[in-house]
């Protein structure tokens, strides 16, 4: 791979897309020659000085990705979703990102079937493309296995962490692994989602070593939630796919169930996604994806 500093200034083709307004700058890298430094990612994600996005996704053939984990998935998936958060940090997974990545692969003719796989740092994810009742293309992604982070502690106490937001009292929370880390808070009845000031990072205690995404959830009805999220490496975003899955699974766990017949509806500020628990402790995320612009960026 070429060092980013050796080629400065560089021009990069990009596509801008979003999944329920969780937005991404996609950087096609068909030859596996683009080395995105954290500063390049931060520039592309910058909403004023750059293009703007919650994350940056390099679209690279699995075998040319330069990532041994991805190369190991090459027999199952042709393309690797090389995901970075807006601050330049690397993330294992992005649920909304997989849908936008899938939409890009289909638009470019890089995947033509309705079912295909994507390589990620959190393993191979299987995508199914269909049309929803309103005639919109729907992307369903098996996010794979999920787990409670501290099952024993959670079973003893009903929660395994405390989350504090600004002036509010610390709230009990549940930590889940969806390939990336999540901490879910069910809002107490006397608080509304709109009351939370998420300009400042919520404090999680104990603080996870690798950081965490924090979801705040309020039931809307049976199998129906509303959620806000503070994403690791970004800040508050308008949606988070793995976060929506974590929120639905946490609410199901708190309700004492392992019901697999309910598809959860999760309303986020940017739209609605659907979460379906699958057998074998796996979970599926469904929703829309949009590709809204194509261009060329000049990196400083
Ligand atoms: N928005 C994504 C999650 C992106 C990564 C996350 N910020 C992390 O650091 O784990 C989603 O839709 O899942």
> Do the Cβ atoms of 254 and 188 come closer than 8 Å?
no
**Residue-wise pLDDT tens digits, 103-127:** 999 999 999 999 999 999 999 999 9
Q: Is 141 in the pocket of ligand 1 (CB under 6 A)?
A: no
User: Which atom in ligand 1 lies closest to the alpha carbon of residue 92?
Assistant: 10
pLDDT in tens, 279-299: 999 999 999 999 999 999 999
The ipTM of this complex is 0.99
Looking at the structure of the chain, the number of domains it has is 2
Same domain for 32 and 94, yes or no, is yes
Residue nearest (by alpha carbon) to ligand 1 atom 2:
94
Contact 242, 143 (CB under 8 A): yes
| pLDDT for residue 6 | 52
Pair 157, 87 in one domain = no
Does the pLDDT at position 11 exceed 50? yes
CB 44 within 8 A of CB 50: yes
Active-site residue set: 94, 240
Pair (230, 176) in one structural domain = yes
CATH of the domain at 255: 3.10.310.10
Q: Closest Cα to residue 242, out of 80, 34, 72, 98?
A: 98
Q: Are residues 292 and 256 in the same domain?
A: no
- For residue range 221-262, list pLDDT tens digits in order: 999 999 999 999 999 999 999 999 999 999 999 999 788 888
34 lines ligand 1 (CB under 6 A): no
Q: What is the pLDDT of residues 17-42, one digit of tens each?
A: 999 999 999 999 999 999 999 999 99
Range of the domain at 157: 147-280
8 A C-beta contact, residue 294 and residue 287: no
54-111: per-residue pLDDT in tens? Answer: 999 999 999 999 999 999 999 999 999 999 999 999 999 999 999 999 999 999 999 9
Ligand 1 atom with the smallest distance to the CA of 19 is 12
In this prediction, residue 267 has a pLDDT band, given cuts at 50, 70 and 90, of very high
């Amino acid at each position: 791979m070429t060092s980013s500093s050796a080629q400065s200034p560089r021009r990069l083709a990009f596509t801008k897309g979003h999944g329920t307004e969780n937005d991404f700058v996609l950087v096609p890298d068909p030859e596996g020659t683009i080395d995105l430094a954290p500063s390049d990612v931060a520039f592309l994600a910058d909403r004023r000085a750059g293009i703007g996005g919650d994350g940056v996704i390099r679209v690279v053939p699995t075998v040319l990705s330069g990532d041994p984990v991805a190369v190991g998935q090459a027999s199952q998936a042709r393309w690797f979703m090389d995901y970075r958060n807006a601050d330049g940090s690397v993330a294992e997974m992005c649920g909304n990102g997989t849908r936008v990545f899938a939409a890009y692969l289909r638009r470019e003719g890089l995947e033509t079937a309705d079912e295909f796989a994507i390589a990620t740092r959190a393993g191979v994810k299987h995508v199914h493309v269909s049309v929803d009742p309103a005639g919109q293309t729907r992307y369903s992604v098996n996010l794979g296995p999920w787990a409670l982070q501290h099952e024993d502690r959670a079973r003893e106490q009903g929660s395994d962490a405390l989350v504090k937001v600004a002036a509010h009292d610390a709230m009990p929370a549940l930590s889940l692994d969806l390939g990336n880390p999540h901490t879910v808070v069910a809002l107490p009845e006397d608080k509304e989602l709109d009351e939370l000031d998420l300009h400042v990072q919520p404090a999680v205690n104990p603080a996870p070593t690798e950081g965490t995404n924090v979801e705040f959830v309020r039931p809307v009805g049976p199998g129906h939630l509303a959620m806000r999220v503070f994403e690791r490496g970004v800040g508050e975003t308008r949606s988070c796919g793995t976060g929506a899955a974590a929120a639905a699974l946490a609410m199901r766990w708190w309700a004492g169930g392992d019901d697999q017949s309910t598809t959860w509806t999760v309303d986020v500020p940017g739209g609605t996604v659907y979460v379906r628990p699958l057998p074998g402790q796996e979970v599926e995320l469904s929703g829309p994806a949009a590709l809204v612009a194509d261009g060329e960026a000049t990196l400083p």
